[in-house]
Structure 1
Amino acid sequence: MDYEQAGELKIGQVGIANLRIRTMDVERLVQEMNERVNRAPKLFGRAAVILDFGGLSRTPDVASAKALLDGLRGAGVLPVALAYGTSEIELLSQQLGLPLLAKFRAQYERADAEPAPPRAAPAAAPAREPRRAAPAAAALAAAPAPGEAPKPGRMQLANVRSGQQLYAENCDLTVMGTVGAGAEVIADGSIHIYGTLRGRALAGAQGNTAARIFCRDFHAELVAIAGHYKVLDDVPDNLRGKAVQVWLEQDQIKIAALD
Protein backbone atom coordinates (compact mmCIF):
# COMPACT_ATOMS: atom_id res chain seq x y z
CA MET A 1 0.00 0.00 0.00
CA ASP A 2 1.10 3.56 -0.72
CA TYR A 3 1.07 5.51 2.56
CA GLU A 4 2.47 8.71 1.09
CA GLN A 5 0.08 11.63 1.66
CA ALA A 6 -1.44 13.32 -1.35
CA GLY A 7 -1.23 16.66 0.47
CA GLU A 8 1.10 17.68 3.30
CA LEU A 9 -0.52 20.01 5.84
CA LYS A 10 1.73 22.33 7.86
CA ILE A 11 0.86 25.04 10.35
CA GLY A 12 3.06 28.13 10.02
CA GLN A 13 3.30 31.82 10.80
CA VAL A 14 1.24 33.82 8.32
CA GLY A 15 1.18 37.59 8.09
CA ILE A 16 -2.56 38.09 7.58
CA ALA A 17 -4.13 41.50 8.09
CA ASN A 18 -6.41 41.72 11.11
CA LEU A 19 -9.30 44.23 10.91
CA ARG A 20 -10.46 45.11 14.44
CA ILE A 21 -14.00 46.48 14.20
CA ARG A 22 -14.55 49.42 16.55
CA THR A 23 -17.87 50.68 15.13
CA MET A 24 -20.29 48.46 13.24
CA ASP A 25 -20.83 51.02 10.51
CA VAL A 26 -20.71 48.90 7.35
CA GLU A 27 -20.66 51.80 4.90
CA ARG A 28 -17.82 53.55 6.73
CA LEU A 29 -15.81 50.35 7.14
CA VAL A 30 -16.11 49.53 3.44
CA GLN A 31 -15.15 53.09 2.47
CA GLU A 32 -12.04 52.98 4.68
CA MET A 33 -10.98 49.64 3.22
CA ASN A 34 -11.58 50.88 -0.31
CA GLU A 35 -9.28 53.85 0.40
CA ARG A 36 -6.57 51.52 1.72
CA VAL A 37 -6.74 49.33 -1.37
CA ASN A 38 -6.68 52.30 -3.73
CA ARG A 39 -3.71 53.83 -1.91
CA ALA A 40 -1.65 50.63 -1.93
CA PRO A 41 -3.19 48.12 -4.36
CA LYS A 42 -0.11 45.90 -4.49
CA LEU A 43 -0.30 45.40 -0.72
CA PHE A 44 -4.01 45.26 -0.02
CA GLY A 45 -5.58 44.19 -3.31
CA ARG A 46 -7.06 40.67 -2.80
CA ALA A 47 -5.36 40.55 0.62
CA ALA A 48 -6.61 38.01 3.16
CA VAL A 49 -8.29 39.76 6.10
CA ILE A 50 -9.40 38.43 9.48
CA LEU A 51 -12.35 40.23 11.08
CA ASP A 52 -12.20 40.88 14.81
CA PHE A 53 -15.51 41.85 16.44
CA GLY A 54 -14.03 41.64 19.94
CA GLY A 55 -13.86 45.44 20.26
CA LEU A 56 -17.65 45.83 19.99
CA SER A 57 -19.98 45.95 22.99
CA ARG A 58 -22.23 43.37 21.33
CA THR A 59 -21.78 40.77 18.62
CA PRO A 60 -23.28 41.89 15.28
CA ASP A 61 -26.20 39.98 13.84
CA VAL A 62 -25.74 37.67 10.89
CA ALA A 63 -27.30 40.06 8.36
CA SER A 64 -24.97 42.93 9.33
CA ALA A 65 -21.94 40.66 9.31
CA LYS A 66 -22.83 39.32 5.86
CA ALA A 67 -23.30 42.87 4.57
CA LEU A 68 -19.82 43.72 5.86
CA LEU A 69 -18.28 40.65 4.23
CA ASP A 70 -19.89 41.51 0.88
CA GLY A 71 -18.80 45.13 1.18
CA LEU A 72 -15.20 44.25 1.97
CA ARG A 73 -15.05 41.85 -0.96
CA GLY A 74 -16.38 44.63 -3.16
CA ALA A 75 -13.64 46.90 -1.81
CA GLY A 76 -11.01 44.44 -3.00
CA VAL A 77 -10.02 42.33 0.03
CA LEU A 78 -10.90 38.75 0.95
CA PRO A 79 -12.29 38.10 4.46
CA VAL A 80 -11.12 34.60 5.38
CA ALA A 81 -11.91 34.14 9.09
CA LEU A 82 -13.16 35.64 12.33
CA ALA A 83 -10.98 36.32 15.36
CA TYR A 84 -11.58 36.27 19.11
CA GLY A 85 -13.20 33.09 20.34
CA THR A 86 -16.17 34.08 22.49
CA SER A 87 -19.16 31.77 22.30
CA GLU A 88 -21.20 34.40 20.40
CA ILE A 89 -18.42 34.94 17.86
CA GLU A 90 -17.98 31.20 17.50
CA LEU A 91 -21.68 30.85 16.67
CA LEU A 92 -21.44 33.75 14.21
CA SER A 93 -18.47 32.15 12.49
CA GLN A 94 -20.50 28.98 11.98
CA GLN A 95 -23.46 30.94 10.59
CA LEU A 96 -21.15 32.78 8.18
CA GLY A 97 -19.30 29.64 7.16
CA LEU A 98 -15.93 31.09 8.19
CA PRO A 99 -13.27 29.57 10.45
CA LEU A 100 -12.49 31.02 13.87
CA LEU A 101 -8.83 31.87 14.49
CA ALA A 102 -8.33 32.11 18.23
CA LYS A 103 -4.58 32.88 17.93
CA PHE A 104 -5.42 36.56 17.44
CA ARG A 105 -7.27 36.60 20.76
CA ALA A 106 -4.03 36.24 22.72
CA GLN A 107 -2.57 39.42 21.21
CA TYR A 108 -5.43 41.59 22.44
CA GLU A 109 -5.59 39.89 25.83
CA ARG A 110 -1.93 40.75 26.30
CA ALA A 111 -2.41 44.32 25.17
CA ASP A 112 -5.45 44.84 27.41
CA ALA A 113 -4.04 43.01 30.42
CA GLU A 114 -4.89 44.55 33.78
CA PRO A 115 -2.02 45.75 35.98
CA ALA A 116 -0.56 43.01 38.12
CA PRO A 117 -1.23 43.48 41.87
CA PRO A 118 1.81 44.80 43.75
CA ARG A 119 3.67 42.40 45.96
CA ALA A 120 3.61 43.02 49.69
CA ALA A 121 6.86 44.61 50.85
CA PRO A 122 8.76 43.05 53.78
CA ALA A 123 8.03 44.69 57.14
CA ALA A 124 11.57 46.06 57.48
CA ALA A 125 11.75 47.44 53.96
CA PRO A 126 11.34 51.21 53.44
CA ALA A 127 8.19 52.45 51.78
CA ARG A 128 8.29 52.56 48.00
CA GLU A 129 6.50 54.71 45.47
CA PRO A 130 3.30 53.17 44.09
CA ARG A 131 3.89 50.81 41.19
CA ARG A 132 3.00 51.93 37.72
CA ALA A 133 0.54 49.89 35.70
CA ALA A 134 2.16 46.81 34.21
CA PRO A 135 2.90 47.04 30.47
CA ALA A 136 1.54 44.54 28.00
CA ALA A 137 2.56 40.99 28.72
CA ALA A 138 4.04 40.74 25.24
CA ALA A 139 6.42 43.57 26.07
CA LEU A 140 7.34 41.91 29.35
CA ALA A 141 8.17 38.73 27.51
CA ALA A 142 10.96 40.54 25.71
CA ALA A 143 12.85 41.00 28.99
CA PRO A 144 14.25 37.77 30.49
CA ALA A 145 13.47 36.94 34.09
CA PRO A 146 16.31 37.37 36.62
CA GLY A 147 18.80 34.58 36.25
CA GLU A 148 17.29 33.47 32.94
CA ALA A 149 19.55 33.43 29.89
CA PRO A 150 18.15 35.75 27.18
CA LYS A 151 16.97 34.04 24.02
CA PRO A 152 19.40 34.78 21.19
CA GLY A 153 18.02 36.72 18.26
CA ARG A 154 17.58 35.13 14.86
CA MET A 155 20.15 36.05 12.23
CA GLN A 156 19.66 35.78 8.48
CA LEU A 157 22.91 35.96 6.51
CA ALA A 158 21.43 35.54 3.03
CA ASN A 159 19.04 37.88 1.23
CA VAL A 160 15.31 37.40 1.78
CA ARG A 161 13.91 36.96 -1.71
CA SER A 162 10.51 37.90 -3.11
CA GLY A 163 7.80 35.57 -1.82
CA GLN A 164 9.82 34.45 1.20
CA GLN A 165 8.71 35.03 4.78
CA LEU A 166 11.00 35.04 7.80
CA TYR A 167 9.72 34.96 11.40
CA ALA A 168 11.71 35.46 14.62
CA GLU A 169 9.61 34.14 17.50
CA ASN A 170 10.07 35.83 20.91
CA CYS A 171 13.27 37.55 19.81
CA ASP A 172 14.83 40.16 17.54
CA LEU A 173 15.61 39.53 13.87
CA THR A 174 18.81 40.62 12.14
CA VAL A 175 19.06 40.46 8.34
CA MET A 176 22.57 40.96 7.01
CA GLY A 177 21.43 41.24 3.38
CA THR A 178 18.50 42.66 1.45
CA VAL A 179 14.77 42.14 1.96
CA GLY A 180 13.44 42.03 -1.58
CA ALA A 181 10.17 43.40 -2.90
CA GLY A 182 7.37 40.96 -2.05
CA ALA A 183 9.34 39.45 0.84
CA GLU A 184 8.20 39.69 4.46
CA VAL A 185 10.21 39.70 7.69
CA ILE A 186 8.40 39.39 11.03
CA ALA A 187 9.72 39.49 14.59
CA ASP A 188 8.19 39.54 18.04
CA GLY A 189 11.06 41.88 18.97
CA SER A 190 12.91 44.46 16.88
CA ILE A 191 14.17 44.09 13.30
CA HIS A 192 17.64 45.14 12.09
CA ILE A 193 18.31 45.16 8.34
CA TYR A 194 21.85 45.93 7.16
CA GLY A 195 20.93 45.93 3.49
CA THR A 196 18.03 47.39 1.52
CA LEU A 197 14.46 46.95 2.77
CA ARG A 198 12.10 46.74 -0.20
CA GLY A 199 9.51 44.31 1.14
CA ARG A 200 7.54 44.32 4.39
CA ALA A 201 8.89 44.47 7.93
CA LEU A 202 6.60 43.77 10.90
CA ALA A 203 8.14 44.17 14.37
CA GLY A 204 6.46 43.59 17.73
CA ALA A 205 4.24 40.98 16.11
CA GLN A 206 2.81 39.82 19.44
CA GLY A 207 2.03 43.33 20.67
CA ASN A 208 5.43 44.64 21.83
CA THR A 209 5.00 48.39 21.31
CA ALA A 210 8.64 49.04 22.30
CA ALA A 211 9.97 47.14 19.27
CA ARG A 212 11.73 49.08 16.51
CA ILE A 213 12.83 48.63 12.91
CA PHE A 214 16.27 49.74 11.70
CA CYS A 215 17.55 49.59 8.12
CA ARG A 216 20.33 51.14 6.04
CA ASP A 217 18.40 51.67 2.81
CA PHE A 218 14.68 52.31 3.22
CA HIS A 219 12.29 51.48 0.36
CA ALA A 220 9.80 49.38 2.36
CA GLU A 221 6.44 48.46 0.89
CA LEU A 222 5.09 48.41 4.44
CA VAL A 223 6.42 48.69 7.99
CA ALA A 224 4.43 47.79 11.08
CA ILE A 225 4.95 47.76 14.84
CA ALA A 226 2.48 45.97 17.12
CA GLY A 227 -0.11 46.01 14.34
CA HIS A 228 0.18 49.71 13.48
CA TYR A 229 1.42 50.15 9.93
CA LYS A 230 2.56 52.66 7.32
CA VAL A 231 2.91 52.06 3.58
CA LEU A 232 5.56 53.53 1.31
CA ASP A 233 3.14 56.00 -0.28
CA ASP A 234 2.70 57.62 3.15
CA VAL A 235 6.46 58.06 3.71
CA PRO A 236 8.09 61.42 2.87
CA ASP A 237 10.35 61.31 -0.19
CA ASN A 238 13.34 62.59 1.79
CA LEU A 239 13.40 59.38 3.85
CA ARG A 240 13.43 56.96 0.93
CA GLY A 241 16.82 55.43 0.32
CA LYS A 242 18.05 56.64 3.71
CA ALA A 243 19.18 54.81 6.83
CA VAL A 244 16.17 55.07 9.15
CA GLN A 245 14.62 53.85 12.35
CA VAL A 246 10.91 53.16 12.79
CA TRP A 247 9.10 53.23 16.11
CA LEU A 248 5.64 53.60 17.63
CA GLU A 249 4.63 56.74 19.49
CA GLN A 250 1.08 57.26 20.76
CA ASP A 251 -0.22 54.62 18.36
CA GLN A 252 1.38 56.40 15.40
CA ILE A 253 4.24 55.05 13.28
CA LYS A 254 7.21 57.40 13.32
CA ILE A 255 10.14 57.25 10.86
CA ALA A 256 13.34 59.27 11.16
CA ALA A 257 16.71 59.26 9.43
CA LEU A 258 19.65 57.88 11.40
CA ASP A 259 22.57 60.27 11.82
Structure 2
Amino acid sequence: MSLNVDRASMAFSFKGGMLPMTVMELTSADPERIREQLAGKLSQAPAFFQHTPVVLSVEKLDEPHLALERICAVCRAHKLLPVAVRGGSDPVKQSAWALGLGWFPPQEIKPRVLESVGNEAPVERVADEAPPAAIKGGRIHRGTVRSGQQVSAPEGDLVVVGSVNAGAEVLAAGSVHVYGALRGRALAGIHGDHDAGIFCRELHAELLSVAGNYKRLEDIDPQLLGRSVEVQLSDDQLTIVSLT
Protein backbone atom coordinates (compact mmCIF):
# COMPACT_ATOMS: atom_id res chain seq x y z
CA MET A 1 0.00 0.00 0.00
CA SER A 2 1.39 3.42 -0.93
CA LEU A 3 2.01 5.79 1.95
CA ASN A 4 1.83 8.82 -0.34
CA VAL A 5 -1.14 11.06 0.38
CA ASP A 6 -2.86 12.98 -2.38
CA ARG A 7 -2.37 16.64 -1.46
CA ALA A 8 -5.80 17.48 -2.83
CA SER A 9 -7.36 15.22 -0.18
CA MET A 10 -5.42 16.72 2.74
CA ALA A 11 -7.50 18.75 5.20
CA PHE A 12 -4.54 20.37 7.00
CA SER A 13 -0.80 20.39 7.48
CA PHE A 14 1.38 21.21 10.47
CA LYS A 15 3.86 24.05 10.18
CA GLY A 16 6.21 25.60 12.68
CA GLY A 17 5.76 29.30 13.33
CA MET A 18 6.64 32.21 15.59
CA LEU A 19 3.40 33.93 16.48
CA PRO A 20 3.69 36.96 18.77
CA MET A 21 1.94 36.24 22.05
CA THR A 22 1.20 38.47 25.02
CA VAL A 23 2.26 36.98 28.36
CA MET A 24 0.18 37.99 31.38
CA GLU A 25 2.56 37.53 34.30
CA LEU A 26 0.55 36.95 37.46
CA THR A 27 1.91 38.22 40.76
CA SER A 28 -1.38 37.60 42.57
CA ALA A 29 -3.70 34.60 42.44
CA ASP A 30 -6.68 36.62 43.72
CA PRO A 31 -9.24 36.81 40.88
CA GLU A 32 -10.79 39.96 42.37
CA ARG A 33 -7.47 41.81 42.39
CA ILE A 34 -6.92 40.73 38.81
CA ARG A 35 -10.44 41.89 37.89
CA GLU A 36 -9.84 45.31 39.45
CA GLN A 37 -6.56 45.85 37.62
CA LEU A 38 -7.95 44.64 34.29
CA ALA A 39 -10.88 47.05 34.60
CA GLY A 40 -8.41 49.90 35.02
CA LYS A 41 -6.36 48.74 32.03
CA LEU A 42 -9.49 48.44 29.92
CA SER A 43 -10.39 52.07 30.57
CA GLN A 44 -6.86 53.15 29.60
CA ALA A 45 -6.42 51.09 26.43
CA PRO A 46 -9.72 49.62 25.21
CA ALA A 47 -8.25 48.80 21.80
CA PHE A 48 -5.86 46.27 23.34
CA PHE A 49 -8.69 44.27 24.90
CA GLN A 50 -10.18 43.07 21.63
CA HIS A 51 -10.05 39.28 21.96
CA THR A 52 -6.28 39.32 22.47
CA PRO A 53 -4.82 35.83 23.09
CA VAL A 54 -2.68 35.66 26.22
CA VAL A 55 -0.47 33.14 27.99
CA LEU A 56 -0.95 33.17 31.76
CA SER A 57 2.43 32.99 33.47
CA VAL A 58 2.16 31.64 37.04
CA GLU A 59 5.91 31.31 37.60
CA LYS A 60 5.94 33.99 40.31
CA LEU A 61 3.11 32.39 42.26
CA ASP A 62 3.69 29.88 45.04
CA GLU A 63 0.27 28.25 45.06
CA PRO A 64 -0.12 24.64 43.95
CA HIS A 65 -3.92 24.95 43.93
CA LEU A 66 -4.74 27.87 41.70
CA ALA A 67 -8.25 29.18 40.97
CA LEU A 68 -7.37 28.96 37.30
CA GLU A 69 -10.95 28.63 36.04
CA ARG A 70 -12.00 31.84 37.85
CA ILE A 71 -8.93 33.72 36.60
CA CYS A 72 -9.70 32.66 33.02
CA ALA A 73 -13.32 33.78 33.47
CA VAL A 74 -12.12 37.20 34.64
CA CYS A 75 -9.86 37.49 31.59
CA ARG A 76 -12.63 36.53 29.17
CA ALA A 77 -15.01 39.02 30.80
CA HIS A 78 -12.47 41.69 29.85
CA LYS A 79 -12.09 40.40 26.26
CA LEU A 80 -8.79 38.60 26.83
CA LEU A 81 -8.53 35.02 25.58
CA PRO A 82 -6.31 32.72 27.70
CA VAL A 83 -4.80 30.10 25.42
CA ALA A 84 -2.13 28.54 27.64
CA VAL A 85 -0.45 28.58 31.04
CA ARG A 86 3.29 28.86 31.62
CA GLY A 87 4.88 27.37 34.74
CA GLY A 88 3.26 26.00 37.86
CA SER A 89 3.14 22.64 39.57
CA ASP A 90 1.59 19.45 38.23
CA PRO A 91 -1.91 20.31 39.58
CA VAL A 92 -1.74 23.61 37.66
CA LYS A 93 -0.74 21.74 34.52
CA GLN A 94 -3.63 19.30 34.96
CA SER A 95 -6.07 22.20 35.54
CA ALA A 96 -4.88 23.91 32.38
CA TRP A 97 -5.41 20.78 30.32
CA ALA A 98 -8.84 20.22 31.89
CA LEU A 99 -9.83 23.75 30.81
CA GLY A 100 -8.67 23.12 27.27
CA LEU A 101 -5.56 25.29 27.64
CA GLY A 102 -2.03 24.52 26.59
CA TRP A 103 0.84 24.36 29.09
CA PHE A 104 4.43 25.57 28.77
CA PRO A 105 7.28 24.78 31.17
CA PRO A 106 8.77 27.67 33.13
CA GLN A 107 10.92 30.04 31.12
CA GLU A 108 14.55 29.02 31.37
CA ILE A 109 16.78 31.63 33.04
CA LYS A 110 20.48 31.31 32.36
CA PRO A 111 22.56 31.14 35.53
CA ARG A 112 24.60 34.21 36.40
CA VAL A 113 28.20 33.88 37.49
CA LEU A 114 30.76 36.32 38.83
CA GLU A 115 34.08 36.82 37.12
CA SER A 116 37.11 38.79 38.26
CA VAL A 117 38.99 40.79 35.65
CA GLY A 118 42.55 41.46 36.85
CA ASN A 119 42.42 43.36 40.12
CA GLU A 120 39.01 44.78 39.40
CA ALA A 121 35.86 43.87 41.31
CA PRO A 122 33.94 40.83 40.07
CA VAL A 123 31.53 41.53 37.24
CA GLU A 124 28.31 39.70 36.57
CA ARG A 125 27.60 38.01 33.27
CA VAL A 126 25.13 35.47 31.94
CA ALA A 127 26.74 32.08 31.55
CA ASP A 128 27.26 30.99 27.95
CA GLU A 129 25.86 34.26 26.65
CA ALA A 130 27.44 35.41 23.42
CA PRO A 131 28.45 39.06 23.13
CA PRO A 132 26.28 41.13 20.77
CA ALA A 133 29.00 41.16 18.10
CA ALA A 134 28.94 37.34 17.98
CA ILE A 135 25.22 37.05 17.33
CA LYS A 136 24.62 35.77 13.80
CA GLY A 137 21.66 34.71 11.75
CA GLY A 138 20.45 38.13 10.58
CA ARG A 139 18.40 38.55 7.43
CA ILE A 140 18.02 41.17 4.71
CA HIS A 141 14.69 41.38 2.89
CA ARG A 142 14.65 43.49 -0.27
CA GLY A 143 11.30 44.80 -1.41
CA THR A 144 7.92 45.60 0.10
CA VAL A 145 6.50 43.33 2.81
CA ARG A 146 2.91 43.08 1.64
CA SER A 147 -0.32 42.82 3.63
CA GLY A 148 -0.72 39.33 5.10
CA GLN A 149 2.97 38.53 4.67
CA GLN A 150 5.31 37.75 7.58
CA VAL A 151 9.09 38.13 7.36
CA SER A 152 11.22 36.97 10.28
CA ALA A 153 14.82 36.69 11.46
CA PRO A 154 14.65 34.14 14.29
CA GLU A 155 18.35 34.37 15.19
CA GLY A 156 19.45 37.96 14.56
CA ASP A 157 18.54 41.37 13.14
CA LEU A 158 16.10 41.90 10.30
CA VAL A 159 16.76 44.58 7.69
CA VAL A 160 13.93 45.47 5.31
CA VAL A 161 15.13 47.46 2.30
CA GLY A 162 11.66 48.68 1.45
CA SER A 163 8.36 49.35 3.19
CA VAL A 164 6.12 47.24 5.44
CA ASN A 165 2.47 47.54 4.39
CA ALA A 166 -0.51 47.62 6.73
CA GLY A 167 -1.46 44.07 7.69
CA ALA A 168 2.11 42.81 7.26
CA GLU A 169 4.39 41.66 10.08
CA VAL A 170 8.16 41.73 10.58
CA LEU A 171 9.84 39.93 13.50
CA ALA A 172 13.40 39.52 14.70
CA ALA A 173 15.32 38.00 17.58
CA GLY A 174 17.43 41.16 17.42
CA SER A 175 16.54 44.58 16.05
CA VAL A 176 14.27 45.46 13.14
CA HIS A 177 15.45 48.04 10.59
CA VAL A 178 12.98 49.31 7.98
CA TYR A 179 14.41 51.53 5.25
CA GLY A 180 10.99 52.75 4.22
CA ALA A 181 7.50 53.26 5.62
CA LEU A 182 6.48 51.01 8.51
CA ARG A 183 2.70 50.63 8.41
CA GLY A 184 2.31 47.05 9.68
CA ARG A 185 3.49 45.33 12.84
CA ALA A 186 7.14 45.25 13.92
CA LEU A 187 8.33 42.99 16.75
CA ALA A 188 11.96 43.07 17.90
CA GLY A 189 13.61 40.97 20.62
CA ILE A 190 11.03 38.21 20.18
CA HIS A 191 13.08 35.89 22.41
CA GLY A 192 13.34 38.50 25.18
CA ASP A 193 16.32 40.63 24.10
CA HIS A 194 15.78 43.93 25.97
CA ASP A 195 18.61 45.58 24.02
CA ALA A 196 16.86 45.14 20.69
CA GLY A 197 15.20 48.05 18.95
CA ILE A 198 13.13 49.12 15.97
CA PHE A 199 14.35 51.69 13.45
CA CYS A 200 12.31 53.02 10.54
CA ARG A 201 12.31 55.90 8.09
CA GLU A 202 8.59 56.63 8.26
CA LEU A 203 6.47 55.60 11.25
CA HIS A 204 2.83 54.60 10.77
CA ALA A 205 3.01 51.26 12.62
CA GLU A 206 -0.07 49.31 13.66
CA LEU A 207 1.96 47.80 16.49
CA LEU A 208 5.50 48.15 17.87
CA SER A 209 6.95 45.57 20.26
CA VAL A 210 10.34 45.08 21.91
CA ALA A 211 10.80 42.00 24.13
CA GLY A 212 7.03 41.69 24.57
CA ASN A 213 6.44 45.33 25.53
CA TYR A 214 4.33 47.06 22.92
CA LYS A 215 2.46 50.12 21.73
CA ARG A 216 -0.41 50.24 19.29
CA LEU A 217 -0.96 52.99 16.75
CA GLU A 218 -3.41 54.81 18.99
CA ASP A 219 -0.81 54.88 21.80
CA ILE A 220 1.85 56.62 19.67
CA ASP A 221 2.34 60.38 19.90
CA PRO A 222 0.78 61.75 16.67
CA GLN A 223 3.74 64.13 16.31
CA LEU A 224 5.98 61.11 15.72
CA LEU A 225 3.89 59.67 12.89
CA GLY A 226 5.49 59.97 9.50
CA ARG A 227 8.91 60.61 10.99
CA SER A 228 12.12 58.63 11.12
CA VAL A 229 12.33 57.10 14.60
CA GLU A 230 14.16 54.76 16.95
CA VAL A 231 12.16 52.54 19.33
CA GLN A 232 13.92 51.22 22.43
CA LEU A 233 13.02 49.66 25.76
CA SER A 234 13.69 51.70 28.90
CA ASP A 235 12.55 50.55 32.36
CA ASP A 236 10.14 48.08 30.72
CA GLN A 237 8.50 50.91 28.75
CA LEU A 238 8.77 51.56 25.03
CA THR A 239 10.32 54.90 24.17
CA ILE A 240 10.09 56.38 20.67
CA VAL A 241 12.66 58.99 19.70
CA SER A 242 12.61 61.01 16.49
CA LEU A 243 15.77 60.75 14.39
CA THR A 244 14.92 63.81 12.30
TM-score by length of 1: 0.80
CA offset digits 1:34-84 (Å, max 9, x no partner)? 53587353x5412221111112122452xx211111121121122111123
| Residues 184 and 30 (structure 1), Cα distance of their counterparts in 2 relative to 1, 3 Å cut | farther
Residue aligning to 2:34: 29
Provide the C-alpha distance between the structure 1 equivalents of 2:243 and 2:127, rounded to a whole number of angstroms.
28
Contact 1:173 1:190 survives alignment (8 Å): yes
The separation in 2 between residues aligned to 1:217 and 1:37, in whole angstroms, is 30
Identify which range, 239-248 or 159-168, moves more after superposition: 159-168
Please state if 1:95 is matched with 2:80.
no
Distance 1:37 1:189, change over 3 A: farther
Q: Is the 8 A contact 1:46 1:78 kept in 2?
A: yes
Q: Aligned equivalents of 2:22 and 2:143: distance in 1?
A: 27
Look up the SS of the partner of 2:23 in the other structure: strand
Which one has a larger percent helix, Structure 1 or Structure 2?
A: 1
Cα distance in 1 for residues equivalent to 2:58 and 2:36: 18
- Does residue 117 of structure 2 align to residue 115 of structure 1? no
Q: Matches of 2:119 and 2:115 in 1, distance apart?
A: 11
Q: Return the offset for 1:204.
A: 0.9
The CA distance in 2 between the partners of 1:222 and 1:136, in whole Å, is: 33
1:66 aligns with 2:57: no
Output the CA distance in 1 between the equivalents of 2:25 and 2:235: 18
Residue 8 of structure 1: how far off its partner (Å): 1.1
In 2: Cα distance, 1:26 partner to 1:177 partner = 46
Q: How far apart, CA to CA, are the structure 2 residues paired with 1:89 and 1:37?
A: 31
Structure 1 residue aligned with 2:149: 164
Greater strand proportion? 2
Matches within 5 A, 1:232-243: 232-243=217-228
How far 1:9 sits from its partner (Å)? 1.4
Percent same amino acid among aligned pairs? 34
Where do 5+ consecutive residues of structure 1 fail to align? 122-126, 145-149
**CA shift at 1:249, angstroms?**
1.4
Aligned match of 1:3: 5
**Structure 2 counterparts to residues 156-235 of structure 1, below 5 A:** 156-235=141-220
8 Å CA contact 2:137, 2:155 repeated in 1: no
Q: CA deviation at 1:6?
A: 3.0
- Count residues in correspondence: 238
Cα distance change, pair 166–195 in 1 and its aligned pair in 2 (3 A): same
Cα deviation, residue 134, structure 1: 1.6
Gaps of 5+ in 2: none
- Residues 81, 99 of structure 1: 8 Å contact kept: yes
Structure 1 SS opposite 2:201 = strand
Which amino acid in the other structure matches residue 112 of structure 2? P
The alignment's TM-score, normalised by the length of structure 2, stands at 0.85
The answer as to 2:18 corresponding to 1:13 is yes
2:22 and 2:226 map into 1 onto residues whose CA distance is 26
What per-residue deviation string (whole Å, max 9, x for no partner) do you get for residues 68-124 of structure 1? 11121121122111123643432232232312134xx44xx33xx4422437x8xxx
Is the alpha carbon distance of 1:201 and 1:56 closer, same or farther for their aligned partners in structure 2, counting shifts above 3 Å? same
**Shift, 1:28, TM fit:** 4.0
Q: In 1, are the aligned partners of 2:143 and 2:161 still within 8 Å (CA)?
A: yes
Check the 8 A contact 2:175/2:197 in 1, yes or no: yes
Equivalent positions of 1:145-156 (< 5 A) are: 151-156=136-141
